[in-house]
Homo-oligomer: A and B are copies of this chain.
Amino acid sequence: MGSTKLISLLFCLLLVISTSAATQKKISREPCKTLVVYFHDILYNGQNAKNATSAIVAAPAWGNKTILAEPTHFGDIIVFDNPITLDNNLHSTPVGRAQGLYLYDGKHTFNTWFGFSFTFNSTGHKGSITLAGADPFLEKTRDIPVIGGTGDFFMARGIATLMTDGFDGEFYFRLRITINLYECW
Chain A residues proximal to chain B, CB less than 8 Å: 1-7, 9-10, 13-14, 17, 23-25, 27-29, 44, 46, 49, 52-53, 55-63, 65-66, 74-77, 79-81, 99-101, 103-108, 111, 113, 115-117, 119, 128, 130, 132-134, 136, 143-151, 154-155, 157-159, 182-183, 185
Contacts and interface: CB of A to CB of B under 8 A. Distances in A.
A49 B70 CA distance: 13
A57 B77 contact: yes
Contacts of A56: 60-61
Contact of A61 (B27, B44, B101): B44
Nearest to A4: B1
A63 to B, nearest CB: 8
A80 B80 CA distance: 21
A145 B154 CA distance: 9
A144 to B, nearest CB: 7
18 contacts: A1-B4, A9-B10, A10-B10, A13-B13, A24-B28, A57-B63, A57-B75, A57-B77, A58-B58, A77-B77, A77-B101, A81-B108, A99-B106, A117-B133, A128-B134, A132-B147, A133-B150, A155-B159
A147 B148 contact: yes
Contacts of A101: 77, 103, 105, 113
Given A105-B100, A117-B134, A76 B61 contact: no
A100 B99 contact: no
